[in-house]
Structure 1
């Protein structure tokens, strides 16, 4: 018990020490403070434990200076060495170390480009680009992860192998053979799913099946996680123990444990060492080694030791969503088997694991999959006891015969059908908003840990405070980053509406933002004009969010893409908006476009003027000079904020229009590093000469306007600097 507390003190200290580098929000800061209290409480009256706790908090601050962000772009002409390569089907990603350069370089190789392997030396000539940062709150941030793992650049340009082009070591050959075995034989559809379930290659799994797993709360089956490692370990240990007993061997259980140890790390190696699988393998290795030498093990100690080792090896794991899922689930299951019941029922285990996953799901995605306990209870036994062990066995015997692997692929196809049926029956996860995650965490902690009344009040009060702090403002306007597109969210007093949906390929950003804000219904969606970068996300949006009305301005020549898209979405009410409408505290004036059929589609955009007391905002869609002159002739009143027409193109935001609107702040909705150069330099000069401040989603990411008595307050994900 003493060692358990010491190890947990060390784990708390490491999380606190490294956590300050990643934590910016109030939720993360509160969790670190609670962990600090928990660490001190666990180690009180234990000098060794307190000493370990303090060292683990202080050491990361001294050992890890803040990473320096590189320039956005850098030309390169250098020789580089391939350090490692991750294989994902016909694509791969190599990590390079270049001469006289700080940091590592990431090189992605596609279907038709050369594939490089560890040990090769290659020549690069092109451009290095810094990893792209998250553009909306709560999104995955590859720039931060890249810097912490040493990968400071991605390469675009020409490559050429200098030496070692034809040589691959045994390890690389084994990885490729393992993957190629799933590309042969029949039952191709089932083999695609097997790639995801056995190797974690989610990209190989058909999109419809990925959505089915996500809807049932079993998305972890498409990643090599602790479930896969545990299933393989148990299968090998049980089978070899049974054989050893039948053969009357000495210590059959210990020999089986040794074989299971080899099998576990073989799978981790072949799956290219994902974080959650490595953590599980480390825990199982400690347990198996203890069994081999006859020591007694404690599961909570194993969890703590695995956490310490994983964080020491790579602190960035703390912000890895998969690691958070895996660790919190394992910790919860460990607590319920040691603190609550030594033999919990299957439904208790499923509910506990699902509740632990809900904490992470709610914070990162804003949803709760309430069907997860039932779906996990049905799907996980089939996957862990049947598909994973038999699939791995089928791969190893594939040089002799493809029939075993085809049989497992057939079972996998039936499994996919079952998952799809459950997804159709239960529907999509419930959107609740990320601010409910602290409450879910508080319920989980109070249920699993035997706290006294004071600690119960402390945890509950802290999490309620975080929930109230993280809850979105009751009235605001968000300019959501949707790539080279446009989408503006209006929220007031519980009502929400959307102006444009962005393009089809970046709608996931919009859906993620709406879910994290807790928005599951839109009073209306207004499409300013019929260009795909403004309406392309409507189809996917309507499948996830309930939309009461869709407003647009019919022109009679909207185009086949618009007509086809609308025809595939059932139950949508399409009509022309009223000249004036309200949304909570917002008053919205719709300024209809010209009926001149000779005008461009951009100049037939609906413009909107949104007001609340002393705050006003003008949205102009893609209006260009013709449409802006028409608004000036109509006598539009000034507005505090202007969303630049056509994403900041030089054909929009003419001087006469800027003089009429007279904005204090201008916002450009455009994509990062877009090929058009938006916002255009001429527009920037006009705004500067008018004394207008400029924010753009390409530079600042997500932008929020909050109306106050004195006018708008503007927030953004990043400063202009």
Structure 2
């Protein structure tokens, strides 16, 4: 039987509500499920169907009225007994609730092929991510025009940035020259705008989905001068942003005061926990701290969760109930109802100061519905409460399903609801341990699929971290925030205590991550993962449910089935989409080799952000060699991160202690050869010339396919190799990203390649690959494939498969520029 959340009142109205027929309750559930299911399925409509549908012409106001009207029509049809028609109509309403705003966003997003300069007026939205090397902000456009009025292309793009449209902008001005950017304030600025684009690789973070989820129309960076302050923006959202920024400033003053008192240096752990738990701001987390949280399965604790919102609401309700009876005006006003109202107001206040993240919004909505039941003397079933909150979150934010926090938050609450049914001794220590174990196991399929992680340390880490963070550190963080608004000097004491607790917490998490197996594991395919999830849920049901053996059988495919590998004598290659750089994975029957490690640009390390997730997704558990073409940041910048993950891999091509190479690496010697699994690898290298010309070239020859990886060689090295090496290859990584100084006609003809693979950055400033170079390869009979257009390139079974071509055409994967064409 479902547990019920009920008020203690016994009014006749409550009895009438409880006496409603089961059919009426069933109707509401089915209508909500039909609406939610249709709204979720609508995300799978291809982007080109949305462009041609004309739904964008509906408009925001008419869209809301249309969806509401259809929902009321469905409710009326159900009440009249037309159940099938009601489900159909409510399904159409749910689908339109997703399709119309998505179509409007797709229609408003400009599609263009080059950077443009726009003069913008608008406001800063949300907190500014301010760092030493750069700061990033979200900018809501009010007006936009081209800086050069005679540039028709720029004018067309800038005019598409309609009022309310959002941009993600960066500012690379050194800190001494920056003006302060305050959220909720209007500015006049000049920015260079770039079309939306994200890397397309196996595994890794989907940046385009992130931008689409936050309704970003374009990205860019500030130009020439700093923004001009135009005064405060109007509206409650701008006011909340200013409050959040002021609270963050007070917390920073508090931390500075605590550092001066202790003289122990920066309070890194305290800053991370304070900002994360008080404001929902993860900007103070270091990369190592975030890795420990992910690997230990405790990253949910640094987001303001529903538990924290519930704690604030409960505290507010308790204070009102205790203090209300002492006031003279309390007579005739039930303390219970007033406490419920105070709890709702406190929950929403905390959710707003935390930025209305999905977990806080879900918790605030569930508390609101629950406590409204208290005010109305109404009972709620927990599953009904969960379903109402699920629908309301999607109703408020149609883009919420693109947020991974949406699924983790609702999945965790649903698992708790299912697991506590029929468990009377829930709060006994053993039952709490069992609940944590079941919750960890139940969320495993979701976290595995979303993050490519299996956090083996999750159970002991959560058993320690959940009570410590929820019962001690979070109340201290809220106290610190409250005191910081009054006096940062006074708030420095609890901030110092939080830092001490945080240092010990991160220390234990780091130790657990070190002693447990590596958490990075590629998830299986969708079908196998679905079977695994079903088996996990089956095991988590109460003991009276039969079929435990069958549940274990459902787990076996995910645990036993691995990815396929090339046959002996064959190899496969993956040219990763790392921007303006190179990283190529070579796979034989039993070995893996990496050629180049991707670039690093400031804090953005493609080795960590792109190459390693791709290796995990491709089930690479061991690298035998890493060949670095030459000592350049765009080819070796990601090496340190990769070496940290694969310390046993031998490095060829670097002999100095740079880029994470400890000790002496192995030099690239012309003519060196080795064989693995029937595939021959040969190193080629011109002895003289520039650093580019002395790139380490790798020739790979299998039984039926050959590949030439060329680094950044230019014309001089090409001529030397023509005289001193055999260059025949079925596929070639085009030298120097397609630079005009490479790919001479003689070199192209000598290779005889039919597949030319270009690793280049989207809209890179050098214009790679040059049109003349592309034309020369095509004139020689080669098909040109480009990572900036096609994503990662998979060379397998005598052909090339583009990563973008194999992806489902979700709305956020609309091409960023007029560069369409995938080679046959």
Distance 1:52 1:401 in 2: 56
What does residue 413 of structure 1 align with? Answer: 500
What does residue 193 of structure 2 align with? Answer: 128
Report deviation, 1:425.
Answer: 3.2
Distance 2:662 2:94 in 1: 58
Report deviation, 1:549.
Answer: 2.8
Where structure 2 has 5 or more consecutive residues not aligned to the other structure, the ranges are: 1-24, 50-80, 145-158, 260-265, 806-819
Report deviation, 1:658.
Answer: 0.5
What does residue 441 of structure 1 align with? Answer: 533
Contact 1:521 1:545 in 2 (8 A): yes
What does residue 525 of structure 1 align with? Answer: 626
Structure 1 range deviating more: 61-70 or 245-254:
245-254
Q: 2:92 aligns with which of 29, 50, 55?
A: 55
What does residue 667 of structure 1 align with? Answer: 757
Q: Does 1:370 align with 2:456?
A: yes
Contact 1:358 1:440 in 2 (8 A): no
Report deviation, 1:369.
Answer: 0.4
Deviation string, structure 1 residues 293-322 (Cα, Å, up to 9, x no partner): 332222211221121122223332212122
Report deviation, 1:360.
Answer: 3.0
What does residue 618 of structure 1 align with? Answer: 708
Report deviation, 1:93.
Answer: 2.4
Residues 1:581 and 1:364: Cα distance change in structure 2 (over 3 Å):
farther
Q: Superposition RMSD on alpha carbons, in Å?
A: 3.9
Deviation string, structure 1 residues 335-365 (Cα, Å, up to 9, x no partner): 2123777727222232233234432332233
What does residue 216 of structure 1 align with? Answer: 296
What SS class does the counterpart of residue 123 from structure 2 fall into? strand
Alignment of 1:300-339 (within 5 A): 300-338=383-421
Report deviation, 1:162.
Answer: 7.4
Q: Does 1:97 align with 2:142?
A: yes
Distance 2:591 2:451 in 1: 21
What SS class does the counterpart of residue 602 from structure 1 fall into? coil
Structure 1 range deviating more: 57-66 or 190-199:
57-66
Contact 1:602 1:624 in 2 (8 A): yes
Deviation string, structure 1 residues 549-602 (Cα, Å, up to 9, x no partner): 333365xxx4x635xx3238xxx98576893334446x13212324x3x43232
Distance 1:658 1:425 in 2: 53
Distance 1:115 1:401 in 2: 21
Q: 1:186 aligns with which of 240, 258, 265?
A: 258
Residues 1:130 and 1:468: Cα distance change in structure 2 (over 3 Å):
farther
Distance 1:173 1:153 in 2: 24
What does residue 287 of structure 1 align with? Answer: 370
What does residue 478 of structure 2 align with? Answer: 392
What does residue 106 of structure 1 align with? Answer: 167
Report deviation, 1:375.
Answer: 0.5
Deviation string, structure 1 residues 696-719 (Cα, Å, up to 9, x no partner): 222222111112xxx223333256
Contact 1:236 1:256 in 2 (8 A): yes
Distance 1:468 1:478 in 2: 25
Q: Does 1:486 align with 2:582?
A: yes
Residues 1:641 and 1:401: Cα distance change in structure 2 (over 3 Å):
closer
Q: 1:70 aligns with which of 101, 110, 116?
A: 110
Distance 1:704 1:483 in 2: 16
Q: Does 1:477 align with 2:604?
A: no
Distance 1:614 1:574 in 2: 29
Distance 2:215 2:160 in 1: 12
Distance 2:128 2:190 in 1: 23
Distance 1:89 1:239 in 2: 38
What SS class does the counterpart of residue 272 from structure 1 fall into? coil
Report deviation, 1:618.
Answer: 1.0
Contact 2:278 2:481 in 1 (8 A): no
Report deviation, 1:540.
Answer: 1.4
Structure 1 range deviating more: 239-248 or 538-547:
239-248
Contact 2:168 2:216 in 1 (8 A): no
What does residue 503 of structure 1 align with? Answer: 599
Deviation string, structure 1 residues 411-448 (Cα, Å, up to 9, x no partner): 33322322222322332642321226434422233234
Q: How many residues align?
A: 686
Report deviation, 1:183.
Answer: 0.9
Where structure 1 has 5 or more consecutive residues not aligned to the other structure, the ranges are: 25-43
What SS class does the counterpart of residue 707 from structure 2 fall into? strand
Deviation string, structure 1 residues 367-400 (Cα, Å, up to 9, x no partner): 2001112111111111111122221122212214
TM-score normalised by structure 2 residue count: 0.74
Q: Does 1:164 align with 2:231?
A: yes
What SS class does the counterpart of residue 437 from structure 2 fall into? helix
Greater relative contact order: 1 or 2 (C-alpha under 8 angstroms, separation 6 or more)? 2
Distance 1:396 1:701 in 2: 48
What SS class does the counterpart of residue 550 from structure 1 fall into? strand
What does residue 638 of structure 1 align with? Answer: 728
What SS class does the counterpart of residue 581 from structure 1 fall into? strand
Distance 1:180 1:219 in 2: 24
What SS class does the counterpart of residue 599 from structure 1 fall into? coil
What SS class does the counterpart of residue 670 from structure 1 fall into? coil
What does residue 30 of structure 1 align with? Answer: none
Alignment of 1:583-602 (within 5 A): 583-584=676-677, 587-594=679-686, 596=687, 598-602=688-692
Contact 1:77 1:123 in 2 (8 A): no
Report deviation, 1:648.
Answer: 1.9
Distance 1:454 1:374 in 2: 28
Residues 1:422 and 1:159: Cα distance change in structure 2 (over 3 Å):
closer
Residues 1:440 and 1:403: Cα distance change in structure 2 (over 3 Å):
farther
Distance 1:93 1:231 in 2: 31
Deviation string, structure 1 residues 124-158 (Cα, Å, up to 9, x no partner): 54433222223324444443454465431234436
Residues 1:317 and 1:656: Cα distance change in structure 2 (over 3 Å):
same
What SS class does the counterpart of residue 204 from structure 1 fall into? coil
Distance 1:9 1:412 in 2: 48
TM-score normalised by structure 1 residue count: 0.84
Distance 2:97 2:711 in 1: 49
Q: 1:379 aligns with which of 451, 460, 465?
A: 465
Alignment of 1:419-458 (within 5 A): 419-427=506-514, 429-435=518-524, 437-448=529-540
What does residue 123 of structure 2 align with? Answer: 82
